[in-house]
Amino acid sequence: MEYAGLAVVFLLALLIALGQAFLNDLIGYRKPDPMEDYPYECGVPLYDESVRGRFKQGYYLLGLLLILFDIEAAYLFPWAVVFEEIGLYGLVEALLFVGILALGFLYAWRKGALDWEL
C-alpha cells in the first residue's frame, strides 16, 4: 500500500510536468518569424547544422567508471543493512570486496583514467 503513494505522486508529477511542457503551445501568443528558431552561435551563421557530432572522450571514460563504482556501491547497501546480523564473516567479506574495488580504483588512477586529458 505504501508504494501506491509513489504511484499517486508520479501521476500528479506527470500531470504538472505535462502542463509545464505544453502550456506555452496552448496559451502562448503566436507570431512566427522566419529566423526565430535559428540556433545562435555568436551571431554568425552556423558552422555545423547539427551539433550532435563528436565530443570529448573524457566524458565517455567517466561514464564507464560510474558503471563500475556505482554498482559496487549498490552492492554494499544491503550489506550495510544486515551488518549486525552477519557479524565477523560479513565484515571480512566486505573488507575483501572493498579491497578489490580499491585495487581497481588504483589501477584506473595509475592508467590516467581519472585525469581530464585534453
Among the listed residues 45, 57, 69, 110, the single contact to another protein using CB under 8 A:
69
CB of 52 to another protein, least distance (A): 7
Question: Residue 105: which residues within 8 A CB-CB, separation 6 or more?
Answer: 69
CB of 110 to another protein, least distance (A): 12
CB contact at 8 A, 101 and 69:
yes
Gap between the Cα atoms of 66 and 68, Å rounded: 5
Q: Is 103 in the site for another protein (CB under 8 A)?
A: no
- x-or-dash pattern for another protein, window 7-46, by CB under 8 A? -xxx-xxx-xxxxxxxxxx-xxxxx----xxxxxx-----
